[in-house]
Amino acid sequence: MSEHDAAPAGSQPAPSNLVMRVLAALVLAPLTIAVAYVGGWLWALLVTLVSIGLFAEWLMVVGAGSAALTGAGTITIAMMGACVAFGALKTAIIVGCVGGAIVTLIARGKFVWAATGFAYAAAALLASILVRKDLVNGFSALMFVLLVVWATDIGGYFAGRSIGGPKLWPRVSPKKTWAGALGGFVASLAVAGGFAACGLGKAVPLLLVSAILSVVSALGDLFESAVKRRFDVKDSSHLIPGHGGLMDRLDGFVAAILMAWIIGFLRHGVHSAGSGLMVW
């Protein structure tokens, strides 16, 4: 759930909730950046734990959170993370396919939702690790994606609150506005401009990539909102103070990092996706 989904224009969030949001961001953002900078097994470990959390939250949202199902998915995602971290991508994919099949069989009546949730978490895992594994441009590419997503959220939040106006998709997310969507989009372009000004890429390609990632991030946000509305759930969990759960906080990032890896993969291959995203 993006920031501009939190309050309609003209309203003020509860002060305590706003303080918790800011404090959580001040702790989590530097920690994420630090671990991303170190990279390697530490980043892979963080991503693996988060992906397990995403899968567990998804199961709770769709009402399929049995111990057997959660356990099967957790073991599979953990094995995939370890394989990718140490360079065994093909093994990770095989493990994912087998584990995904087991998850689907265990889920029975909820097999479509369980399989979708497993694919969601596994895609986040693979894309996040593979983008960072690029030894030349992995960190800068990962930071680019993170900052575009954060700018989209923050810009959308302030534009949505201050301007208001027509709703973006009221049936799915009643509080989002077109002004918020545009504000987030413009903020994401500022990130691309900043990277270009620092010599981290060419301006025009980065602007185009940031535009794509910003739109995809917003769509990922709407997708998560649609799933929660389908099951009449407000927050995926209460893990992060002021923000809800991992799904609420990372819905846009999951979509954006997957798209970033696809762009990088199509240009420079599996193991140089970071360069494929940043070098034009």
pLDDT in tens, 129-141: 999 999 999 999 9
Q: Report whether pLDDT(185) > 80.
A: yes
Helix or strand (DSSP H, E) at 169: strand 167-169
**Can you give the pLDDT at residue 240?**
77
User: What confidence category does residue 6 fall into, taking pLDDT thresholds of 50, 70 and 90?
Assistant: very low
Domain residue extents for the chain: 3-278
Q: What pLDDT does 18 receive?
A: 65
Ranges 15-24, 108-117, 178-187, 253-262: which has the least confidence: 15-24
Average pLDDT, the chain: 91
Q: Do 207 and 25 touch, CB atoms closer than 8 A?
A: no
pTM of full prediction above 0.85: yes
Q: Taking 70 as the threshold, does the pLDDT of residue 235 lie above it? A: yes
The share of the chain scoring above pLDDT 70, in percent, equals: 92
Backbone angles phi, psi at 174, to 5 degrees: -60, -25
The amino acid that residue 243 corresponds to is: H
Please give the Cα distance from 121 to 61 (Å, whole number): 14
DSSP summary character for residue 226: H
Radius of gyration of the chain (CA): 18
The pLDDT, as a whole number, for residue 250 is 95
Q: Is the pLDDT of residue 10 over 90?
A: no
Mean pLDDT of 218-231: 94
For residue range 50-59, what is the model confidence (pLDDT) as tens digits? 999 999 999 9
Kindly indicate the confidence band of residue 14, based on its pLDDT and cuts at 50, 70 and 90. low
- pLDDT at residue 164, as a whole number: 82
Provide CB contacts within 8 A for 253, sequence distance 6+. 124, 145, 146, 149, 217, 220
Give the side-chain half-sphere CA count within 13 A for 274.
20
